[in-house]
């Protein structure tokens, strides 16, 4: 049987895309999920704060995922769990494997890539020192604690102020561990300010900005201590600033990487700025009929935005199968001053109904500022912001009328007001 | 005047609360921020999330949370109360695990169907 749509990944992005494709007329839909149940990373994100935009209430991760999982039974969407996607070919065949079904090849008319992202590890940032047990990525520790029920340590140091690290600082503290400090190499925090407030400040956990771990020590195979040093403007450790922490665990929250092995295997163009596929306004990749959404495209800070973006991808997949490929002239989006990337990277104005939503991140902290949109050096739109930070995803709406006026390219830039 | 970061939503507004003028809040961008600022000074509260034991499921822990924020200084007491809970599968999202936990008026509820 040929599927109209195969969605790779049953996390928040894949679920929203599949449901949206169903609501827009597709019936033969399959979701390929490698875990035993759908829900993705939300299942281990047991903290609250999800769904404020989407459902106007504060839910935990599993609750948010549950609301989407509950939509499946009324549909013809097939969910293959415990099934690993291995390869996507140019003729839209999806190769996958599971213990139950063995090696399978499914044909699809369209594909949505929703594989999410994974954590950067110790190897990626090259921390010197011994290689003991007790060094975990924050997300791995979160899974051990919240899903498997293992306490990973008693005296904890956290490197990186990303949201997962902050959330784990609170979680480990509530479970009885002593979290000694959170250490961040940048001069600003990379997580949401609310998480600094409710995860660190609530428990008097110090945050060392412009500091990093410069040594890891081991005793009997287990982590026995870490050295933390201040860093200069070039992020190089400053000799003489070393502090020793007597800890048995180091959690790393040092960034996330979109998981695009399947995307690459299909020969789909990847944007080096996001490490995700280059996408159009409707989340279509550079390969016709293949769409992408969620953290596989760019790392989001709010799942609410993932759901919205993924519904757009699901709807677009349905339109592709039912009406054929979207067409029209293409505008290229470029990142100007202080903007590190934009998503989408390409917009076809003919394919935009009212406005195109553009996500981006800034590369430094801004107080009162302006987001300026230029086309061929002409300022065509401006948006005010009170505060922007690299840890917080920004978005603007570009109205269709404005896109129709743009000439070939658009640049998004930020500057102080 | 006390300065706070609002935790109501991910925006993280920088609030100023004037304790001497009836907890007047400035810097908020929504009414919920004003309410948070006032409460944070007079009666700080947090929603607590954690896990409890579960048997009969393919996993050993079931995620739970308080149905509404409880006094901040009771967070650890709540964690202790959860240690004695053992659930049996099946449980449904929203199912009450402990009613009116520690007399807070808030219930502990299941957050995942298991």
Q: Cβ B65–A43 below 8 Å, yes or no?
A: no
Listed in sequence order, the residues at least 6 apart from A7 whose beta carbon sits closer than 8 Å to its beta carbon are A14, A17, A18, A21, A29, A30, A31, A32, A111, A112, A114, A314
Same domain, A130 and A237: yes
pLDDT digits (tens, 9 = 90+) for A236-279: 999 999 999 999 999 999 999 999 999 999 999 999 999 999 99
pLDDT digits (tens, 9 = 90+) for B53-65: 999 999 999 999 9
Quickly state the pLDDT bin for B12 (edges 50, 70, 90).
confident
From A290, A301, A294, A297, select the one nearest A11 (Cα to Cα). A294
Same domain, A144 and A236: yes
- Give the residue-averaged pLDDT of A294-311: 95
pLDDT value of position A250: 98
pLDDT digits (tens, 9 = 90+) for A149-182: 999 999 999 999 989 999 999 999 999 999 999 9
Are A177 and A151 in contact by the 8 Å Cβ rule? The answer is yes
Residues in chain B within 8 Å Cβ distance of A147: 59, 61
Selecting from B5, B47, B75 the residue whose C-beta is nearest the C-beta of A197 gives B5
Listed in sequence order, the residues at least 6 apart from A333 whose beta carbon sits closer than 8 Å to its beta carbon are A342, A344, A345, A346, A347, A358, A409, A410, A411, A412
Q: Which class for A95: exposed (0-12), middle (13-18), buried (19 or more C-beta within 10 A)?
A: middle
Q: Cβ B7–A66 below 8 Å, yes or no?
A: no
Same domain, A23 and A80: yes
Q: Cβ A174–B48 below 8 Å, yes or no?
A: yes
Q: Cβ A63–B93 below 8 Å, yes or no?
A: yes
The CA distance from A223 to A242, in Å, is 18
Residues in chain A within 8 Å Cβ distance of B61: 146-149
Q: Which chain A residue is nearest to residue B53, measuring alpha carbons?
A: A149
Are A52 and A58 in contact by the 8 Å Cβ rule? The answer is yes
Beta strands A369-375 and A378-385, pairing class: antiparallel
Quickly state the pLDDT bin for B29 (edges 50, 70, 90).
confident
Q: Which chain A residue is nearest to residue B94, measuring alpha carbons?
A: A63
Average pLDDT over chain B reads 92
pLDDT value of position B30: 86
- What percentage of chain A exceeds 90 in pLDDT? 87
Q: Which chain B residue is nearest to residue A389, measuring alpha carbons?
A: B11
Same domain, A319 and A347: no
How many domains does chain A fold into? 3
Selecting from B4, B5, B63 the residue whose C-beta is nearest the C-beta of A146 gives B63
Nearest-CA distance from A62 to chain B in Å? Answer: 5
Indicate which CATH number applies to the domain containing A154.
Answer: 3.50.50.60
Task: Return the CATH number of the domain spanning residue range B49-110.
Answer: 3.10.530.10
Indicate which CATH number applies to the domain containing A378.
Answer: 2.60.40
Residue A348 has pLDDT above 80, yes or no: yes
The CA distance from A225 to A242, in Å, is 13
pLDDT value of position B20: 84
Are B34 and B41 in contact by the 8 Å Cβ rule? The answer is no
Q: Give the containing element (helix H, strand E) for B34.
A: helix B31-42
The full set of domain ranges for chain B reads: 2-43, 49-110
pLDDT value of position A273: 93
Residues in chain A within 8 Å Cβ distance of B4: 197
From A360, A373, A376, select the one nearest A273 (Cα to Cα). A360
Residues in chain A within 8 Å Cβ distance of B53: 149
Same domain, A126 and A250: yes
| Structural domain boundaries enclosing A355 | 327-417
The CA distance from A150 to B60, in Å, is 10
Quickly state the pLDDT bin for A16 (edges 50, 70, 90).
very high
Same domain, A213 and A171: yes
pLDDT digits (tens, 9 = 90+) for A372-401: 999 988 999 999 998 888 888 899 999 999
- What percentage of chain A exceeds 70 in pLDDT? 100
3-state secondary structure chain A: CEEEEEEECCCHHHHHHHHHHHHCCCCCEEEECCCCCCCHHHHHCCCEEECCCCCCCCEEHHHHHHHHHCCCCCCCCEEECCEEEEEECCCCEEEEEECCCEEEEEEEEEEEECCCEEECCHHHHCCCCCCCECEEEHHHHHHHHHHHCCCCCCEEEEECCCHHHHHHHHHHHHCCCEEEEEEECCCCCCCCHHHHHHHHHHHCCCEEECEEEEEEEEECCEEEEEEEEEECCCCCECCCCCEEECCCEEEECCCEEECCHHHHHCCCCEECCCCEECCCCCCECCCCCEEECHHHCCCCCCHHHHHHHHHHHHHHHHHHHHHCCCCCCCEEEEECCCEEEEECCEECHHHCCCEEEEEEEECCCECCEEEEEEECCEEEEEEEECCECCCCCEEEEEEHHHHHHCCCEEEEEEEEC
Same domain, A86 and A199: no
The CA distance from A81 to A270, in Å, is 27
Quickly state the pLDDT bin for A38 (edges 50, 70, 90).
very high
- What percentage of chain B exceeds 90 in pLDDT? 63
pLDDT digits (tens, 9 = 90+) for A43-83: 999 999 999 889 999 999 999 999 999 999 999 999 999 99
- Point out the domain boundary residue: A272, A291, A324: A324
Are A282 and A292 in contact by the 8 Å Cβ rule? The answer is no
Torsion sign over Cα A305, A200, B111, B102: negative
Beta strands B24-26 and B14-18, pairing class: antiparallel
Least confident of A115-129, A357-371, B16-30: B16-30
Residues in chain A within 8 Å Cβ distance of B113: 66, 69
Rounded to the nearest angstrom, the gap between the alpha carbon of residue A395 and the centroid of all alpha carbons in its chain is 15
pLDDT value of position A115: 98
Task: Count how many pairs of residues, chain A against chain B, have C-beta atoms within 8 Å.
Answer: 82
Listed in sequence order, the residues at least 6 apart from B70 whose beta carbon sits closer than 8 Å to its beta carbon are B45, B46, B47, B48, B78, B101, B102, B104, B106
Same domain, A91 and A103: yes
- Point out the domain boundary residue: A304, A324, A344: A324
- Point out the domain boundary residue: A299, A324, A349: A324
Residue A320 has pLDDT above 90, yes or no: yes
Which residue is listed with tokens 């940048």?
A186
Query: Residue A378: beta bridge partners?
Result: A375
């Amino acid at each position: 049987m040929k599927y109209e749509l195969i969605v790779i990944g049953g996390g928040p992005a894949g679920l929203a895309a599949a449901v949206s494709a169903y609501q827009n007329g597709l019936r033969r839909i399959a979701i390929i999920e490698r875990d035993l149940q759908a829900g993705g990373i939300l299942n281990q994100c047991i903290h609250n704060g999800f769904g404020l935009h989407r459902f106007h209430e504060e839910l935990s991760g599993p609750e948010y995922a549950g609301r989407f999982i509950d939509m499946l039974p009324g549909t013809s969407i097939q969910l293959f769990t415990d099934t690993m996607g291995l390869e996507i070919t140019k003729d839209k065949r999806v190769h996958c494997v599971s213990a139950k079904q063995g090696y399978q090849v499914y044909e699809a008319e369209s594909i949505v890539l929703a594989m999410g992202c994974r954590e950067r590890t110790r190897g990626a940032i090259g921390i010197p020192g011994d290689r003991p047990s007790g060094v975990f990525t924050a997300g791995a520790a979160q899974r051990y604690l919240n899903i498997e029920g293992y306490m990973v340590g008693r005296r904890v140091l956290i490197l990186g102020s990303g949201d997962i690290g902050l959330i784990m600082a609170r979680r480990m503290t509530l479970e009885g561990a002593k979290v000694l400090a959170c250490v961040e190499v940048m001069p600003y925090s990379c997580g949401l300010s609310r998480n600094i407030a409710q995860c660190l400040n609530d428990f008097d956990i110090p945050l060392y900005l412009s500091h990093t771990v410069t040594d890891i020590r081991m005793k009997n195979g287990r982590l026995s201590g870490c050295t933390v040093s201040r860093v200069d403007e070039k992020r190089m450790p400053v000799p003489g600033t070393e502090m020793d922490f007597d800890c048995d665990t180091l959690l790393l929250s040092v960034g996330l990487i979109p998981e695009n092995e399947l995307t690459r295997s299909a020969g789909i163009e990847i944007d080096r700025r996001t490490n995700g596929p280059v996408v159009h306004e409707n989340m279509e990749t550079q390969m016709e009929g293949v769409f992408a959404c969620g953290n596989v495209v760019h790392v989001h800070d709010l799942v609410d935005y993932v759901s919205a973006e993924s519904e757009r991808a699901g709807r677009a997949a349905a339109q592709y199968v039912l009406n054929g490929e979207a067409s029209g002239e293409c505008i290229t989006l470029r990142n100007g001053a202080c903007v590190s990337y934009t998503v989408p990277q390409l917009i076809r104005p003919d394919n935009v109904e009212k406005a195109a939503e553009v996500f981006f991140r800034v590369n430094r902290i801004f107080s009162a500022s302006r987001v300026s949109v230029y086309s061929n050096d002409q300022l065509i739109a401006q948006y005010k912001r009170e505060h922007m930070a690299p840890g917080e995803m920004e978005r603007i709406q570009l109205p269709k009328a404005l896109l129709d006026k743009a000439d070939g390219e658009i640049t998004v830039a930020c500057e102080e007001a | 005047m006390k300065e706070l970061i609002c935790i109501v939503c991910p925006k993280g507004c920088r609030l100023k609360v004037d304790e001497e003028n009836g907890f007047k809040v400035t810097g908020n961008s929504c009414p919920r921020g004003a309410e948070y600022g006032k409460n944070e000074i007079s009666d700080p509260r947090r929603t607590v999330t954690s896990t409890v034991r579960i048997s009969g499921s393919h996993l050993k822990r079931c995620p739970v949370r308080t149905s509404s924020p409880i006094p901040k200084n009771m967070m650890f007491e709540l964690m202790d109360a959860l240690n004695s809970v053992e659930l049996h599968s099946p449980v449904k999202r929203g199912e009450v695990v402990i009613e009116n936990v520690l007399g807070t008026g808030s219930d502990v509820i299941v957050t995942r169907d298991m």
